[in-house]
Amino acid sequence: MILAIIIGATLGIISGILPGVHNNTFSSILIANLPILYLFFTPEEVAVIILTNAIIHTFTDILPSIFIGVPDEDTAISLLPGHEMVLSGNGFRAVFISAISSLSSFFIALPVFYFFLSVDKIFWRIVVTYTKYFLVCVVAYLIFLEKGERFAGSLNFIYKKAIAILIFILSGVTGILAFSFSYMAEIRVGSSIFIPLMTGFFAIPVLLHTTKTKIPRQNITLPSLNETLSILKSIFSGSIAGSMVSVFPGISSGIAGTISSGRSVRREDYISAVSSANTSNAILCFSVLFATGKTRSGAVSAFKQV
């Protein structure tokens, strides 16, 4: 079992630091090669590899997010918070905030994990009944959060909201087409339409928008105790948002982080909220599987098959 944990952690590190590679990618590869794996591991050990991979991935995926694809100064106005911190020489501080947020979220998620296992089935029936209304409210709130760019005119926020609505509609159309023609991608055991989709959405854009920007020298200084304590609110709200993601389908950890950070302008709050939501969601998706049999992620789906 120790070897399975080490292998899962190693896969989580690899999937985290390589841009465009998700832990679901390794889950699909493991499922496709189960006959070979069962020659060396028991089904329980393979399941542990998948579980460990999914959790460790949430600790390391911050690295390519902030250090790869950093724009140049001309596009600095549209930077992500992590990129802003890199260009100001505080990239390591962003990594530390993400790591401490994920670790804290891990421990916050443990009692919630137990709660999901012990809650009555009536709760889950209520969740199923009201899921569609909840998703509509989430979409409306995300569009409401869209704000115009600085120095872009007073009507720019309307343009940004219109773009958000268009992207939402196109995402729905993409989903419908993907599931309608999924048989074209499922040419062998373990293959899935989600592999080319994830490659297109997560890998290719990073490669296309990566520039030759020179990253400034990074300060290897960690936040003070007061600065670390100041992100506790974001850690807690991100963890709670991550638990909601694990319960309701159709919401990603990034969306949960955006909701929990709200209109906060502090870069540290956003990074902390997203990292906390990511780790909390990765763990609690497994508790939802144990409680209801429903899968909320690719890793949980692979875990269930094993």
Q: What pLDDT, on the 0 to 100 scale, is given for residue 74? A: 40
For residues 269 and 254, the answer to whether their CB atoms sit within 8 Å is: no
Dig out the tokens for 204 from the structure. 């290719």
Q: How many CB atoms lie within 10 A of CB 157?
A: 14
For residues 288 and 303, the answer to whether their CB atoms sit within 8 Å is: no
Residue 284, CA atoms < 13 Å, CB-side half-sphere: 30
Please state, in angstroms and rounded to a whole number, the distance separating the CA atoms of residues 202 and 68.
Answer: 13
How confident is residue 306, by pLDDT bands cut at 50, 70 and 90?
confident
pLDDT > 70: percent of the chain: 82
The range of the structural domain enclosing residue 246 comes to 2-305
Q: Give the mean model confidence (pLDDT) for residues 233-257.
A: 80
Q: What pLDDT, on the 0 to 100 scale, is given for residue 162? A: 86
For the chain, the straight-line distance linking the first and the last C-alpha, in angstroms and rounded, comes to 16
Please state, in angstroms and rounded to a whole number, the distance separating the CA atoms of residues 297 and 203.
Answer: 19
Instruction: Write the burial class of residue 142 (CB in 10 Å: 0-12 exposed, 13-18 middle, 19+ buried).
Output: middle
Q: Which of residues 134 and 225 earns the better pLDDT score?
A: 134
Q: Is the pLDDT of residue 87 over 50?
A: yes
Q: Is the pLDDT of residue 226 over 80?
A: no
Residue whose structure tokens are 């100001």: 88
Q: What pLDDT, on the 0 to 100 scale, is given for residue 150? A: 60
Q: Is the pLDDT of residue 72 over 50?
A: no
Count of domains in the chain?
1
DSSP 252-293: -HHHHHHHHHTT---HHHHHHHHHHHHHHHHHHHHHHHHHH-
Task: Kindly give the residue spans of alpha helices, DSSP state H, lying in 188-266.
Answer: 194-198, 204-209, 225-229, 232-247, 253-261
Q: What pLDDT, on the 0 to 100 scale, is given for residue 261? A: 66
Q: Is the pLDDT of residue 118 over 70?
A: yes
pLDDT in tens, 21-61: 777 778 888 888 888 888 888 889 999 999 999 999 889 88
Q: In this structure, what DSSP letter does residue 76 have?
A: G
pLDDT in tens, 93-109: 888 888 888 999 999 99
Please state, in angstroms and rounded to a whole number, the distance separating the CA atoms of residues 186 and 147.
Answer: 40
